[in-house]
Structure 1
Amino acid sequence: MNTDVFALRHIGITEKDLQPMFEIVGVDHMEQLIYETIPNDIRLKKPLDLPEGISEHEFLTHIQQLAEKNKVFKSYIGLGYHESLIPSVIKRNILENPGWYTAYTPYQAEIAQGRLEALLNFQTMVSDLTGMELANASLLDESTAAAEAMTMLFDVRSRQQKKDGTIKFFVSEEVLPQTLSLLETRSTPLGIELVIGNHEEFGFSSDFYGALLQYPGKHGQVNDYAEFVENAKSNDIKVAVAADILSLVMLTPPGEWGVDVVVGTTQRFGIPLGYGGPHAGFFATKEDYKRSIPGRIIGVTKDTDGNRALRMALQTREQHIKRDKATSNICTAQVLLAVMAGMYAVYHGPEGLKYIAEKVHNHTRLLSKSLTALGLEQSNTAFFDTIKVQVKDAGGLKKVAESKGINFNYIDDNSVSISLNESFSENDLKLLVSCFVESQQIQKDISTVFHVEEIIPKTLQRQSSFLDHEVFNSYHSETELMRYIKKLERKDLALNHSMISLGSCTMKLNAASEMLPLSWANWGNIHPFVPLNQAEGYQLVLKELESQLTTITGFAATSLQPNSGAQGEYAGLMTIRAYHESRKEGHRNICIIPASAHGTNPASAVMAGMKVVVTKTDEKGNIDVTDLTDKVIQHSENLAALMVTYPSTHGVFESSIVEVTKLIHEHGGQVYMDGANMNAQVGLTNPATIGADVCHLNLHKTFAIPHGGGGPGVGPICVAEQLKPFLPSNPVVNTGGEKGITAISGAPWGSALACLISYGYIKMLGAEGLTESTKMAILNANYIKDRLKGKYDVLYTGERGRAAHEMIVDCRPFKAHGIEVTDIAKRLMDYGFHAPTVSFPVAGTIMIEPTESESLAELDRFCKAMLAIREEIDEASSEDSNNVLKNAPHTLEMLTTDNWSFPYSRQKAAFPLPFVGENKFWPSIRRTDEAFGDRNLICTCTPIEAYAEA
């Protein structure tokens, strides 16, 4: 065993396991299985053109050397990004803890109560600080959250406004540049007209439906918007505010002016800068909009026994239900980062946050006084943490500041803004002031201590209390917070406990060596808008990762900017849209999507201004080529794109794929391939070979970024040569194609910090390891399929009876026994497993994907559990619902009660197979009551008064 080979650590199947697995699957060797699974005409003829893999030690040495090429300056650039101090107890126990970062989206509430509570804390924090009634459980970043606000308010326009065709949206010139760029991207396909201007001069005419303000403004001015909001309300104009969350500790929250939406980022609540992400955006609104709010909401409900329970509420998966009628394509949240930000508030509490905010503000006041004492003009009349200073020579200041390891935001030749943060100290103040003294050749002495007057007007000072809830007033010592985090972790089933076989989600190993660099200061403390020569290490990693992904997909170029899979879909379609417009074919707006596609596909197409035409699937679950041909011919003149998932959402390599892509091209369209199932392609085939023009990749699936309880995700797009010029740009840092579309996310390279993980994954596996991983993923899926044969029916297979890397198991026949697919999902919890994907893409089924990282022993444990459940199904009766499946999951409280009223033993309930007792996971609640929670929507923690009354 060569211990230097990373593939041996990443891949769970050993050499000695292969022969017994081949016997079960019915093949003589691996190549036979791959031949019978993937159509021969799309197989790659050569190995991947990537270097050999390196050992974990070599990778860590290499990534350390690259980290040292980054220059960690004190960045006072601001523009929505600030250095933050991550409490060590949160870094060690959440960011670096696989119990938190390997968990999946909490669709199965009974085994996710810890994460759900942490997210409820986050929602409560956001609601309290913004003064709004309702918050979701995080969006991708501030800029995308602002775009979601614009589109939500567009969707909820009054009937009269829709009748009049009201489509104008006012954007304050104070809004961050990256947010404005993103608003331009999102507004154009929807026909929304942006009007950028001064809020004090806005005319409030009837053709506007909404407005966006920045609080404080991009260069630090704190404006009093109360009169603006009052005028907007009287003219039926909805108002959104992009707010700095730390400033809301001291400033009047926008909710108290009566605004409709407040958005922003929680990055400065203990999240690394990470060259732009990942960071948890926030979105807070009125309860009136609870059925329109994008993303996920965590709500309080009760379980079967009436105990308090948490679960994802309302439109948790609205894209999969509403499809092209969905108002947002948001699928990924930034759960891990939201959990960290929420814990930051739990750890510091209201008094701690006040201390931090006042420290930042007082340092800023002192800086302002110091610079004005030097004779410089500071132009902000009210500010929180950012001042705007007039200088004679910004170029000279930049040269001196950079020589001292300092970055400012250089607005123009004669003005600069400076944004302070919680890491700022008195020594930093002296160094910062010296930059101005030296560069502006000032002779004055300012060594005296100043009396610094109040700068925030009384009308803008926060009077209301916040974070009064018990959770924010209980865990201020490290011991207490460590135990609270552990208490929540024990309620969650993550990948560090057992296999999570979610189809389409690819819950593979997130190797420790890939994760370690995320904690290093030289990667974490880089502002996304620093000069490129300060981020040389990042630039080398990101450029090589782009090259690696371009090679793997067979395309010409890659953009890493999209920071979720659904955002990658949207980015891909927007490049197609730009391509057609460049050819004077902007009328092409029909997007053909097979009925089996991911739910985010049609939502993304509508957001990109396209009309969705759905095509049928045949009885084998494949694209109905006859129906597709008819619709392509019908819409030939206006055909923009086909969106196709490959292998299909049904877990099959369809042999007609080349015929399908050729047909689209013959009629002037482009082919978008959804890369959700790329784990079955890498090294064996690729999107370019099947005839696609663009694909997005889920780095949080195929390329080992952990799901983090539902995010972070990264969804880069890879494109063919003709689409390369249109890759997304950024207004602050030059990136993207020469005719690049406007921004897709706030930061130039999206969630750059998380990209280190995929870079390491590819670097350590190398060409051979990547290809071997794909083969093992296919072998593992077919092994499970054949182990379960005769007990469970697999709905779709390829022409030779093979599954790709996942399969859909049909549970609908069990209704004859009174058993639903949900019962199987809940019963698996008693066996210590997270359920596979339930009722997607076919209702009444489960979709199983084992990945390449699982051992044969773990695959066998899962199969034994499934086979034991099959016997329990046979024992069940449709006349009597009091059985082990209907009552699952079984909690410790149930098992230890004096009253056991069930017709089966406690052992059968909790320890149905011997292996369960060796490593028992206890669900912390019984089944949640979804309907009760939606009827009685509670999305924040209960105040202390309510606890006292109870």
Structure 2
Amino acid sequence: MTFANRHIGPDAEEQTHMLKAIGYASLDALMDAAIPEVIRWHGSLELPAAASEEETIAELRAIASQNRVTTSMIGLGYYGTHTPAVIKRNVLENPAWYTAYTPYQPEISQGRLEALLNFQTMVTDLTGLTTANASMLDEGTAVAEAMTLAKRASKSKSRTYVVDADTLPQTLAVLRTRAEPLGIELKLVDLDAGDPLPGEFFGLHLQYPGASGAVRDHAALVEAAHARGALVTVAADLLALTLLRAPGEIGADIAAGTTQRFGVPLGFGGPHAGYLAVRAGLERSLPGRLVGVSKDADGAPAYRLALQTREQHIRREKATSNICTAQVLLAVMASMYAVYHGPRGLRGIAERVHHHALTVAGSLTAGGVRVAHDAFFDTVTAVVPGRAAEVVAAAAEAGIDLRLVDADRVSVAADETTTEAHVAAVVRAFGVRETAVADCGAKPLARTSEYLTHPVFRTHHSETSMLRYLRRLSDRDYALDRGMIPLGSCTMKLNATTEMEPVTWPEFADIHPYAPAANTAGYEKLVATLESWLAEITGYDAVSVQPNAGSQGELAGLLAIRGYHRSRGESHRDVCLIPSSAHGTNAASAVMAGMRVVVVACDDLGNVDMADLHAKIEKHAESLAAIMVTYPSTHGVYETSIADLCAAVHEAGGQVYVDGANLNALVGFARPGTFGADVSHLNLHKTFCIPHGGGGPGVGPVAVRRHLASFLPGDPLEPGEHHAVSAAAHGSAGILPISWAYLRMMGPDGLVAATGTAVLAANYVAARLREHFPVLYAGNNGLVAHECILDLRPITKATGVTVDDVAKRLIDYGFHAPTMSFPVAGTLMVEPTESEDLAELDRFVAAMIAIKGEIDQVAAGVWPAKDNPLANAPHTASAVTADEWEHPYPRSVAGFPAGVDRTAKYWPPVRRIDGAYGDRNLVCSCPSPEAFED
């Protein structure tokens, strides 16, 4: 059996049954009827024929072998770390964690929400601040978000942002990318040289320790910045903060950084969980996701996403960030690393790291080599006039990579994996034979405050206890390993084990993003091949995999358009047209790229209103920069006017951005780069099988036609005019083997079959449910694309049963709900994907029909509007087994509705959660154990 047959759920017989239900004789006939001829591509994908799973693993082994795993002592925010085996096996390699979706249904996400609350608590404890979010994409984006947060919250009217010259160079590159379109002026200040602060500025960024390794007392700078009305961000190393005074203890307003060295592999740059924390008073300005403590219908503590989560959908062009995702899987790993080691364990690791750095510094000093700084944590910068390259080469011969700062300076960074043998080899590379331990000038900055005092960080230090804790949390969640997650717009398809396997190989996991080119040939080959395959699939000429989320892909694409117009002397083109139905990040990304958003109306069928489009184009023709349109549409329809839309925008001098969120409905049948688009971002975590991981990691490559290729993101460490949207040249390179393997095993025929089956599944569900729930939109011949929208608004109006009631009742039936109220309030968007077989599709259909029957009981007055199985859903085991039962329906209906397998029942751990209570009473760190006892 081919891999495609394993990946695609319905077999030939089941597909025939499904086709008959919607009135088509074959998959080809269905696709001919569904896809408008104006976009239809009749070519064949020039991709390698499908390889077997065994052949694919062998090919990836060969590619991986071209990477050279060395001992990296480069530092610069990326460090070797030991992932505890219990975490590696039971989180990173466990589908219960990596196939989970973003916790928008909190009742069935309590496990990962608890893990994220641990993450937030870990960050706030170590930084000395009051509130942290549930992770950022990487350190570079976290610091950039801190800059824009400071701009919003500062009382200063200045547009100047002051940046420590000892900032990580990749962070500085991302800051430059994000500052320029927003009109923010970056001013570098060399603290070593005694540069004074300018007269006015809205924010100050400090690196702690600095990129050179220097540890400085920033208290006076913080005070001076506050005196000017500026906010202060400290980019802090969390491991260092186990030994060094916390940023919050010197008055910092914001802390940002990465948690990579807490057990998360290097992965050639990602994925890693960045962090962002703020002082009291700024929590409601935090971008990204925030986990809070609320209560359920019984008053029991329960976790949920809080406040401004997904603010883009509400605020759109007024949103202050386009970040709508996180790095949940990596944040879970980092939090569990802290849980497993506890405060004493973390401090012990930090002390060993610091001791190795002291030995390097002491040995070099004793051997006549000058060390640049007296105070440091893990990184020692040595001054060797004219000899730096020679020293780095000598260390490389010993299998150790150091950082070549310039011709006269070398940096040596110790980490958790450093040994005494490594230290001795490094010292010898400098020509020094004896080792000695230096005294460190950072002692006055030593930390005296406690951290990680909550019992969760002081309990699970044996492997047995840790194993059981992880199992208990995963049992509280619903992920793709339990059943179907039919989320529209999110493509929750199979994440095959063979695709996942290479991610933890040392040849992929243990490569530093700035390792010498001679060590990374395998990664470069993998990236180049994947980019070429993605270009072939989409019809574009060039692809960059640097964006580490779909939102960053959007930004990169719009910056490419901006750069193109500016290169032609048309910098006045700054209007971006966006349909009213668009994903909210589109508008936010456009504003971040320095554009003005003009909304284009949609007609009653959900399509772009062409009359309004032409009117907006005519009105803004001289300043038109771009249009952003999702295809198939956000409503799940193949719009027939897309070619006319592209032509009209081009004629006015604009560029066409096609959001690739719904590419799962196009692969092999239509190519955006061929039917008129200039740029798209793709979601590898949707169409190309990178798991959602509970809300991240993701990869959002940007694909462009030839005239935009020179404006793609560039290496953040390379000089030049290019922009960098991620801190690493290839973004989250460590998970690219997943999509590479998917494409290699599917081959061109398998990809075509997957698209056809996805469209078949959506139309089958729509056909089966249409008589029970109106299907809101359809395209050619009454067909949808890969998803359909069920309209519950008439039901709500007639019965009071809401979309929330249906979503929560689906939990009782053993399902994750479809996407709620997007893109239309009061609706459910269903995307079955190609991976679910007929039995699972029918189980979902049967559940929805049964729920409609329950709604009818409410409508008929059999059950009261406020006391029925829908209004009270979901039902927990404790609720169903309570001594008293006063509801007008039996316990069996509550806990075991029609079609539910009693031997495989999933019980939600909490009842329906009161979200408003959690927002009014904001608690974003671990509650005391007494909260649960009460």
TM-score bracket for the superposition, by shorter chain length = over 0.9
User: TM-score w.r.t. structure 2 length?
Assistant: 0.98
Aligned 8 A contact 1:128 1:467 in 2: yes
- Name the CA distance, whole Å, in 1 between partners of 2:97 and 2:423: 38
Deviation at 1:686, TM superposition (A): 1.0
Equivalent AA in structure 2 for residue 568 of structure 1: G
Does 2:823 match 1:841? yes
Does 2:393 match 1:408? no
Partner SS, residue 309 of structure 1: strand
Does 2:433 match 1:431? no
User: TM-score w.r.t. structure 1 length?
Assistant: 0.96
Counterpart position of 2:851: 869
Deviation at 1:428, TM superposition (A): 1.4
- Name the CA distance, whole Å, in 2 between partners of 1:784 and 1:89: 40
Deviations 1:339-385 (A, max 9, x none): 00000000000000010000100111011111112111111110000
- Name the CA distance, whole Å, in 1 between partners of 2:589 and 2:899: 47
- Name the CA distance, whole Å, in 1 between partners of 2:339 and 2:483: 30
Structure 1 residue ranges without an equivalent (≥5): none
Does 2:836 match 1:854? yes
Of 149, 154, 159, the residue aligned with 2:151 is 154
Partner SS, residue 285 of structure 2: coil
Counterpart position of 2:521: 536
Deviation at 1:233, TM superposition (A): 1.0
Equivalent AA in structure 2 for residue 758 of structure 1: S
Deviations 1:247-267 (A, max 9, x none): 000000001111110000000
Partner SS, residue 411 of structure 1: strand
- Name the CA distance, whole Å, in 1 between partners of 2:544 and 2:329: 24
Aligned 8 A contact 1:574 1:741 in 2: no
Counterpart position of 1:310: 303
Does 2:749 match 1:763? no
Across the aligned residues of Structure 1 and Structure 2, the Cα RMSD in angstroms comes to 1.4
Counterpart position of 1:344: 337
Counterpart position of 2:350: 357
Deviation at 1:456, TM superposition (A): 1.6
Alignment of 1:763-912 (within 5 A): 763-815=744-796, 816-877=798-859, 880-912=865-897
Does 2:273 match 1:280? yes
Does 2:675 match 1:678? no
C-alpha change, 1:561 and 1:674, in structure 2 (3 Å) is same
Deviation at 1:399, TM superposition (A): 2.2
Aligned 8 A contact 1:675 1:695 in 2: yes
Instruction: After superposing the two structures, state which structure 1 stretch, 811-820 or 708-717, moved more.
Output: 811-820
Aligned 8 A contact 1:508 1:851 in 2: yes
Alignment of 1:393-792 (within 5 A): 393-437=387-431, 445-446=433-434, 450=436, 452-458=438-444, 460-733=445-718, 741-792=722-773
Aligned 8 A contact 1:468 1:943 in 2: no
Equivalent AA in structure 1 for residue 210 of structure 2: G
Partner SS, residue 242 of structure 1: strand
Of 160, 164, 176, the residue aligned with 2:168 is 176
Counterpart position of 1:320: 313
Does 2:192 match 1:189? no
- Name the CA distance, whole Å, in 2 between partners of 1:94 and 1:949: 28
Instruction: After superposing the two structures, state which structure 1 stretch, 548-557 or 392-401, moved more.
Output: 392-401
Equivalent AA in structure 1 for residue 477 of structure 2: D
Deviations 1:523-557 (A, max 9, x none): 10000001122011111100000000000110100
Partner SS, residue 81 of structure 1: coil
Aligned 8 A contact 2:272 2:327 in 1: yes
Aligned 8 A contact 1:129 1:466 in 2: yes
- Name the CA distance, whole Å, in 1 between partners of 2:245 and 2:164: 19
- Name the CA distance, whole Å, in 1 between partners of 2:248 and 2:98: 33
Aligned 8 A contact 1:205 1:235 in 2: no
Instruction: After superposing the two structures, state which structure 1 stretch, 388-397 or 551-560, moved more.
Output: 388-397
Partner SS, residue 208 of structure 1: coil
Deviation at 1:198, TM superposition (A): 1.8
Does 2:10 match 1:13? yes
Instruction: After superposing the two structures, state which structure 1 stretch, 135-144 or 196-205, moved more.
Output: 196-205
- Name the CA distance, whole Å, in 1 between partners of 2:841 and 2:373: 63
Does 2:119 match 1:122? yes
C-alpha change, 1:192 and 1:294, in structure 2 (3 Å) is same
Partner SS, residue 311 of structure 1: strand
- Name the CA distance, whole Å, in 1 between partners of 2:691 and 2:16: 31
- Name the CA distance, whole Å, in 1 between partners of 2:165 and 2:754: 50
Deviations 1:311-362 (A, max 9, x none): 0000011000000000000011000000000000000000000100001001
Deviation at 1:207, TM superposition (A): 3.0
Aligned 8 A contact 2:865 2:871 in 1: no
Counterpart position of 2:230: 237
Partner SS, residue 96 of structure 2: helix
Deviation at 1:88, TM superposition (A): 0.1
- Name the CA distance, whole Å, in 1 between partners of 2:733 and 2:781: 42
Alignment of 1:364-383 (within 5 A): 364-383=357-376
Counterpart position of 1:105: 102
Equivalent AA in structure 1 for residue 442 of structure 2: I
- Name the CA distance, whole Å, in 2 between partners of 1:41 and 1:236: 57
C-alpha change, 1:386 and 1:27, in structure 2 (3 Å) is same
- Name the CA distance, whole Å, in 2 between partners of 1:53 and 1:630: 48
Deviation at 1:172, TM superposition (A): 0.8
Partner SS, residue 592 of structure 1: strand
Deviation at 1:434, TM superposition (A): 1.9
Deviation at 1:203, TM superposition (A): 4.2
Aligned 8 A contact 2:758 2:834 in 1: yes
Does 2:907 match 1:926? no
Aligned 8 A contact 2:395 2:425 in 1: no
- Name the CA distance, whole Å, in 2 between partners of 1:494 and 1:749: 29
- How many residue pairs match? The answer is 928
Deviation at 1:157, TM superposition (A): 2.7
Instruction: After superposing the two structures, state which structure 1 stretch, 905-914 or 119-128, moved more.
Output: 905-914
Equivalent AA in structure 1 for residue 755 of structure 2: T
- Name the CA distance, whole Å, in 2 between partners of 1:880 and 1:679: 40
Equivalent AA in structure 1 for residue 802 of structure 2: E
Partner SS, residue 626 of structure 1: helix
Structure 2 residue ranges without an equivalent (≥5): none
Deviation at 1:155, TM superposition (A): 1.4
Aligned 8 A contact 2:392 2:410 in 1: no
- Name the CA distance, whole Å, in 2 between partners of 1:79 and 1:899: 61
- Name the CA distance, whole Å, in 1 between partners of 2:390 and 2:517: 19
Partner SS, residue 42 of structure 1: coil
- Name the CA distance, whole Å, in 1 between partners of 2:765 and 2:931: 49
Aligned 8 A contact 1:831 1:916 in 2: no
Partner SS, residue 523 of structure 1: helix
Partner SS, residue 84 of structure 1: coil
Deviation at 1:454, TM superposition (A): 4.0
C-alpha change, 1:242 and 1:628, in structure 2 (3 Å) is same
Does 2:80 match 1:83? yes
Deviation at 1:273, TM superposition (A): 0.1
Deviation at 1:913, TM superposition (A): 1.9
Aligned 8 A contact 2:486 2:833 in 1: yes
Aligned 8 A contact 1:727 1:740 in 2: no
Partner SS, residue 696 of structure 1: strand
